């Protein structure tokens, strides 16, 4: 009788050493994250007479896994050689199979497009479930005397 119990215990415990050798099913799943939209900068109405809109397409195709959950994408556009809009988008795949999107739009204005004079920024964060999409809109307006520069970004995030 004791031999039977020992054999049963061995049979039941045998798979335990191998349990940690396999990855959870979610760790091998890949998640496609698409971003489509635009970013714009407006060099407006300075005392020198500048008034120019400049836009660029925002497009990103990323595949996220639980082994590589994080990515940052960015885009920049300059108008009138003075106003620069910079869009930073952080994408993170969380353990609930959702994508967390954190976007920051910054407006820089100065004597050139390489100026680091930050005139303002806007921030938005959202969560996108698998199979869903979200619209993200950001806007920054400079209210410096003699210069009403603007930055705009609008994009959709698709999580497939």
Count CB neighbours of 102 within 10 A: 15
pLDDT of residue 81: 80
pLDDT of residue 130: 93
pLDDT of residue 57: 93
In angstroms, rounded to a whole number, what is the distance separating the alpha carbons of residues 34 and 155? 10
Burial class (CB in 10 A: 0-12, 13-18, 19+), 134: middle
3-state secondary structure of 21: helix
**Average pLDDT by stretches of 10, the chain with 160 residues:** 50 49 54 95 71 88 92 91 92 94 92 81 96 96 79 95
pLDDT of residue 144: 72
3-state secondary structure of 157: strand
Strand 133-141, strand 150-159: pairing: antiparallel
Q: What single DSSP character describes residue 19?
A: G
pLDDT of residue 34: 95
């Amino acid at each position: 009788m004791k031999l039977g119990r020992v054999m049963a215990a061995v049979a039941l415990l045998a798979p335990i050493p191998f349990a940690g050798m396999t990855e959870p099913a979610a760790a091998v799943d890949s998640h496609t994250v698409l971003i489509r939209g635009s970013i714009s900068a407006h060099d407006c109405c300075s005392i020198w007479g500048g008034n120019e809109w400049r836009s660029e397409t925002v497009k990103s195709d990323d595949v996220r896994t639980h082994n590589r959950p994080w990515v940052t994408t960015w885009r920049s556009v300059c108008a009138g050689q003075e106003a620069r809009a910079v869009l930073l988008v952080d994408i993170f795949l969380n353990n609930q199979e959702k994508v967390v999107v954190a976007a920051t739009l910054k407006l820089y204005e100065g004597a050139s497009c390489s100026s680091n004079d930050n005139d303002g920024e806007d921030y938005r964060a959202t969560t996108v479930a698998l199979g869903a999409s979200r619209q993200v809109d950001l806007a920054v307006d400079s209210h410096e005397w003699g210069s009403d520069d603007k930055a705009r970004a609008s994009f959709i995030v698709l999580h497939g």
